Amino acid sequence: MRITMIGTGYVGLVSGACFADFGHDVICVDKDAAKIDALHAGIMPIYEPGLKELVATNVKGGRLSFTTDLTEGVAGADAVFIAVGTPSRRGDGHADLTYVYAATREIAAALTKPAVVITKSTVPVGTGDEVERIIREVAPDAKAWVVSNPEFLREGAAIEDFKRPDRVVVGTEDPEATAIMEAVYRPLYLNRSALMFTGRRTAELIKYAANAFLATKITFINEIADLCEVVGADVKDVSRGIGLDNRIGSKFLHAGPGYGGSCFPKDTLALLKTAEDHEVPVRIVEAVVQVNDSRKRAMGRKVLRAMGEGDHRGKRVGVLGLTFKPDTDDMRDAPSLALIQALQDAGVSVRAYDPEGVEQAAKMLTGVEFVADAYAAAADADALVIVTEWNAFRALDLQRIAGAMQAPVLVDLRNIYHRRDVEAAGLHYHGIGRG
Ligand code: NAD
């Protein structure tokens, strides 16, 4: 099977490399020449565990290649995946489909044989209809089936998620397109993964409903954490106590600084816009978006409070972790951004360390001093804040940290430490929801 991936970012590169690993012949296309040059040199444009090795093996095996030339990439393809970005549109929060539609026009002009054109990007309900219309307009004689196949992989565990997914959702009701999609995913089938076929619009909505539900779960436990702080309860035990109930499940019940990343913020917003356009209010998701937005900056105030009363101008805070979650270098909508801004607005200077995210973070943050490890971030600080739960922060030498700081205050926004261990090392402990 000959597969073309349009867009070689987090989703396109991981999916392309995994499809090649299944034995398909894959070509990944990207407009960004620097990205493609780097990939030709064996350098990954993103940090994702295991990706470098997977790409190298499949390039060497002759199953995976890269190009900036979309026409060359699409020629002869049985399946063309669109995996370009769908960021929030400036001004109104709708999904910006400019890249999807531009790619569609180019694909339509480049098709040389019957092919399925698949939206793997997260796109609002009805986008597949427009993709189909554009293909008919640009290439009236081309035979193409437009299918929705949203991606559910998580950054940091992307390869495992792609190869062993909970389910693969495919939106098409056409028998020929179904047969091609079955052939594309046949290697997964053997692993008995659930390949779920449904209508195209339904598949598009499943992706938004899934992300909105997960964002709701996180936001729910975050609000319960706030209540725990006031009433003297422990949110970790509340999470465990409710998560052990199979109807609820324990995942996405970790209280923290609010969700961020490249998907939840923009996808919840886009779902609100779709609902608004169809005059069907989705009030729960509205509340989730509002609560989460205000929470990120509130984390800045939490850190300031932990430093005590009064003016904090001239003080310094050490920040551990900048990326929106561990095992990625993705900084899009990371909670660290709003938190650091809030600290800087209060006249506090910031020293930060992140194992993989500094290069991306430096493009988004100003006035932050980046240092080489957690101990350098703690040096002379008036508070140290754990923002992202990288493994490297789970077993710090707390006595060394306490000894290096100006004032011994640890704010653990991911609840990775026990209060008693932190206090035994001579630090004041502030977790989330641990009243
Ligand atoms: P990304 O920004 O990392 O990558 C998109 C790539 O597409 C960029 O490299 C860009 O240069 C390229 N591109 C844009 N227009 C192009 C064109 N016409 N031709 C060739 N290349 C083009 O984005 P991403 O994080 O991989 O996300 C892609 C889509 O997948 C989004 O809709 C996103 O919501 C969805 N998604 C992302 C994740 C995730 O964890 N990142 C998970 C599931 C779904």
Helix spans in 244-391 (H): 264-277, 283-306, 335-345, 358-364, 374-378
Atom of ligand 1 nearest to the CA of 122: 32
pLDDT of residue 192: 65
At 239-297, the pLDDT tens digits run 999 999 999 999 999 999 999 999 999 999 999 999 999 999 999 999 999 999 999 98
pLDDT of residue 188: 87
Q: Are 287 and 223 in contact (CB under 8 A)?
A: no
105 lines ligand 1 (CB under 6 A): no
Q: How confident is the model at residue 344 (pLDDT cuts 50, 70, 90)?
A: very high
Active site residue 263: yes
> What proportion of the chain, given as a percentage, has pLDDT over 70?
99
Pairwise CA distance, residues 77 & 22, whole Å: 16
Q: Give the Cα-Cα-Cα angle 105, 107, 108 (nearest 5 degrees).
A: 65
The tokens for 310 are 């009064």
| The pLDDT of residue 422 is above 90 | yes
Least Cα distance to 288 among 268, 274, 261, 273 occurs for 268
The CA 8 to ligand 1 mean position distance, Å, reads 7
pLDDT of residue 191: 65
pLDDT of residue 408: 97
At 57-75, the pLDDT tens digits run 999 999 999 999 999 999 9
The tokens for 132 are 């189909």
Beta pairing partners, 399: none
Number of Cβ within 10 Å of residue 60's Cβ equals 9
| The pLDDT of residue 99 is above 80 | yes
Pairwise CA distance, residues 106 & 251, whole Å: 40
Beta pairing partners, 88: 95
> What proportion of the chain, given as a percentage, has pLDDT over 90?
97
**Atom 3, ligand 1: which residue's CA is nearest?**
9
At 185-205, the pLDDT tens digits run 999 877 666 899 999 999 999
Domains of the chain: 2-198 (3.40.50.720), 213-430 (3.40.50.720)
The CA 6 to ligand 1 mean position distance, Å, reads 9
Catalytic pick among 18, 28, 228, 263: 263
269 lines ligand 1 (CB under 6 A): no
The CA 306 to ligand 1 mean position distance, Å, reads 39
69 lines ligand 1 (CB under 6 A): no
Q: How confident is the model at residue 96 (pLDDT cuts 50, 70, 90)?
A: very high
| The pLDDT of residue 418 is above 90 | yes
**Does the model's pTM come out above 0.85?**
yes
Residues listed for the chain: 435
Q: How confident is the model at residue 327 (pLDDT cuts 50, 70, 90)?
A: very high
Summary mean pLDDT of the chain: 97
Q: Rounded to the nearest 10 degrees, how much is the dihedral formed by the CA atoms of 420, 422, 427, 433?
A: -80
Q: Which residue from 13, 15, 18, 30 has its CB within 8 A of the most atoms of ligand 1, so it is best to mutate? A: 30
Burial of 187 (0-12, 13-18, 19+ CB in 10 A): middle
At 289-326, the pLDDT tens digits run 999 999 998 999 999 999 999 999 999 999 999 999 99
84 lines ligand 1 (CB under 6 A): yes
99 lines ligand 1 (CB under 6 A): yes
Atom of ligand 1 nearest to the CA of 155: 40
Counting Cα atoms < 13 Å in the Cβ hemisphere of 271 gives 27
pLDDT of residue 308: 95
Cα distances from 144 to residues 12, 120, 127, 136, in angstroms, run 20, 16, 15, 9
pLDDT of residue 194: 84
| pLDDT, greater one: 435 or 219 | 219
70 lines ligand 1 (CB under 6 A): yes
